[in-house]
Structure 1
Amino acid sequence: MDTISENKCFGGTQGVYSHASAATGGTMTFGLFLPEEAANGPVPVLIYLSGLTCTHENAMTKSGAQAFAAEQGIALVFPDTSPRGDGVADTDGFDMGLAASFYVDATQDPWKPHYQMETYITRDLMQALADFPLDMDRVSITGHSMGGHGALTLALKHPDMFRSVSAFSPICHPTASDWGQRQFEGYLGSDKSVWADHDATLLMRSNGYDKPVLVDQGTADQFYDKLNTGDFAAACADARADAQIRLQSGYDHSYFFIASFIADHVDFHAQALYA
């Protein structure tokens, strides 16, 4: 573990750290906010997965989440959105390759050697976090856009790992969206039955979910038609899931939207983490 930076923040510490990852075959970077309670013992954890084009820095610097996490005594983790470094495959577009991993374990070349992000988040990152005063039995997950897709799918696939899940404007049904079909074919191959394991709507339909779910979606989101929030809401209703799907009038896809409702999400997770 290498320390890149540490700054005092809302009585606690906002740090940035790097570590080796066997899953991605390189060095990964993440941000970690530790509230002041961490000085006295392990604290619960909320992981935030960012969206397309982002690094670990976007939510760390734009969401304002630290203020509300400090009030609740919760740590925040901000992972990177993809592997990086020499030899890591990329494309010219913004929606595949670097900063566009879709949080899947790729099975196809040239992505397979490094793009193992599901394993990174659920194994390597968790192992790295064990070096800090964190209660790894109390972990929840959230995210935005592609990261909202990641949060929902990882929670649905690993229900014993996370106590609750939330998302801002997530890609809810990627197998039926321009944000998903091309990427899944590239990362996972042409067998669409494999794609279903990485689609929150299909996972909810097939498996259900018995933990709390919160989704916020802006009605003025410029990417609304790519996100398919209604499909996920219908799947939650059919599964009788403990889910709140909220349409927020006039809000778009930006971090202004996230900053407007991040307090609600931190409070939502605090209820599950301290239950």
Structure 2
Amino acid sequence: MELLAENKCFGGRQLQYSHASTSLGCDMRFSIFLPPQAAGEGTKVPVLYWLSGLTCTDENFVQKAGAQQYAAKHGVAIVAPDTSPRGEGVPDDPEGAYDFGLGAGFYVNATQAPWSEHYRMYDYIREELPALVEAEFPVDSDRCGIFGHSMGGHGALTIGLKNQDKFKTISAFAPIVSPMNCPWGEKALSNYLGDDQENWRQYDTCELIRKNATRQQPILVDQGDADQFLQEQLKPELLQQACALAEYELTLRMQPGYDHSYFFMASFIGEHIEFHASHLAG
């Protein structure tokens, strides 16, 4: 790993690294906040993985969400990876659109050329990045949660549900809850996975809740009711319906007047970190 930046923040350290990723076949960046509690000799702290949305890098959350003060208060580390592979030779949307390709990895393992060579974000988040973080930093792999926003909320929900032994808690802001049923998801999944929609189901939260959730993890979802993408792309009612049918406990909070921006996330990020910390304590 190469250290790119280090800043003291709320008594802890905000760090940014680059490393060569074997899953993605390119160099990747990630940021990690280590709370002051992680400085103790032999002390390991709980760790949360934050997955950002379309067009973002690791830096958006770090600079805009205001999460560090709450992570320091509750003694948890936060890891924020990039949202896609990048670099020379990594393909992008041929039309240069924001909702596919660079900055839009959708946290899946692509199976279709030319995307399959690099776009394996599911493996990167599930295996490679946690292994690296756990080897290099004082974090407790048994006290691990995952959360995210929009496309990253989709990633947090699907990766968390499919890896319940790894990720004990899940939360999301304005997640894409059913990419099989929205334009963003349909574009991404058809390109990354092909036209057979049976292959899409493994990356659709509502499908996972209905068919594959073997035990219940604590899940918190916040959604602004003034979100400009609410009706066409996000559709939280589909998640609510799937959880009701599966008798899966879900805390879904519709927040009046809030939109899709980091102003929304900054307003409730403290409650999300407290949610994870309370379940990961011990």
TM-score w.r.t. length of structure 2? 0.96
Corresponding residue for 2:77?
A: 75
Unaligned runs of 5+ in 1: none
- Report the CA distance between 1:243 and its aligned residue: 1.4
Corresponding residue for 2:165?
A: 160
Q: Deviations over 1:84-122 (max 9, x none)?
A: 000000011000000000000000011010000000011
Corresponding residue for 1:99?
A: 103
Corresponding residue for 1:124?
A: 128
- Is 1:112 paired with 2:116? yes
- Report the CA distance between 1:148 and its aligned residue: 0.2
Corresponding residue for 1:250?
A: 257
Corresponding residue for 1:170?
A: 175
Instruction: Please give the alpha-carbon distance, in whole angstroms, between the structure 1 residues aligned to 2:247 and 2:74.
Output: 29
Instruction: Please give the alpha-carbon distance, in whole angstroms, between the structure 2 residues aligned to 1:3 and 1:206.
Output: 42
Q: Which amino acid aligns with 1:246?
A: R
Instruction: Please give the alpha-carbon distance, in whole angstroms, between the structure 2 residues aligned to 1:14 and 1:106.
Output: 31
Regions of 4+ moved over 6 Å: none
How many residues were matched structurally? 275
Instruction: Please give the alpha-carbon distance, in whole angstroms, between the structure 1 residues aligned to 2:39 and 2:112.
Output: 44
The answer to whether the 8 Å contact 1:52/1:100 transfers is yes
- Is 1:20 paired with 2:27? no
The answer to whether the 8 Å contact 1:173/1:199 transfers is yes
Corresponding residue for 1:231?
A: 238
User: What is the 5 A alignment of 1:189-204?
Assistant: 189-204=194-209
- Report the CA distance between 1:137 and its aligned residue: 1.4
Instruction: Please give the alpha-carbon distance, in whole angstroms, between the structure 2 residues aligned to 1:36 and 1:168.
Output: 26
- Report the CA distance between 1:77 and its aligned residue: 0.6
Q: Deviations over 1:59-85 (max 9, x none)?
A: 010000111010000001110000000
Instruction: Please give the alpha-carbon distance, in whole angstroms, between the structure 2 residues aligned to 1:109 and 1:272.
Output: 41
The answer to whether the 8 Å contact 1:14/1:31 transfers is yes
Corresponding residue for 2:57?
A: 55
Corresponding residue for 1:65?
A: 67
Matched position secondary structure for 2:202: helix
The answer to whether the 8 Å contact 1:19/1:128 transfers is no
- Report the CA distance between 1:242 and its aligned residue: 2.6
Q: Which amino acid aligns with 1:20?
A: A
Corresponding residue for 1:210?
A: 216
Give % identity: 52
Q: Deviations over 1:209-236 (max 9, x none)?
A: 4110000000000000110100001111
Instruction: Please give the alpha-carbon distance, in whole angstroms, between the structure 1 residues aligned to 2:149 and 2:166.
Output: 19
- Report the CA distance between 1:124 and its aligned residue: 0.9
